[in-house]
Amino acid sequence: MRIVIAGGHGQIALRLERLLAARGDEVAGIIRRAEQGDDLRAAGAEPVLCDLESASVEEVAAHLQGADAAVFAAGAGPGSGVARKSTVDRGAAVLFANAAERAGVRRHVVVSSMGADPAHPGDDVFDAYLRAKGEADEYVRGRTGLDWTILRPGSLIDDAGTGLVRLEASTGRGAIPRDDVAAALAELVDTPATAGLTLELISGSTPISVAVKSVAGN
């Protein structure tokens, strides 16, 4: 498969790129800064320079041409303010979905966040983040040209992955190593039977491949 990842230099994206490249997929990661390219090459991915905050749908669609799947893993990051939650966590996600639809890339996986909700109350930056992610998820769910799956991990940690998770429509609060999020994404990209599902992910007792097959109805 050829898989294009938005936010290609993110912590989860780099892990995902390594996993996909190791299994023989062709991987491209969209990045904003050229100096990030070496990290992607080291992970086995092709760096694609494109700023999702300023690019047009046509520009992004050109990068998606010929892909079998698209993964949105971009984020404004913890040090950003309210404005970038809107332009990246919402705006770039909407742009990427539109571009995938324009390019005819049906398989579309989104890394969202547990608690994402367009009606989330509050005035803190994290409240704005959850609203932005919720608005983006709602938009993606309305795209009839996409076979979308939305993954909402719990609290992200840097512990080594265990390969054991709980993956359900609603899991309750919990933590999840970034390693395991990436591994779950790799399985989801490969499992189009999960299209139309919004799933929460935390650490648990079920092997990732089994968990994905279970939600896919296999």
Beta pairing partners, 156: 176
- 139 assigned to active site: no
Exactly one of 129, 161, 204, 211 is catalytic; name it.
Answer: 129
Helix H, strand E, coil C: the string for 50-109 is CCCCCCCHHHHHHHHCCCCEEEECCCCCCCCCHHHHHHHHHHHHHHHHHHHHHHCCCEEE
With tokens 């979308």, the residue in question is 148
CB 21 within 8 A of CB 45: yes
Beta pairing partners, 168: 200
Of 186, 92, 108, the residue nearest 150 (C-alpha): 108
CB proximity list for 38: less than 8 A, separation 6 or greater: none
Of 158, 156, 162, 160, the residue nearest 201 (C-alpha): 156
Say how far apart CA 41 and CA 150 lie, in whole Å.
27
Active site residues: 129
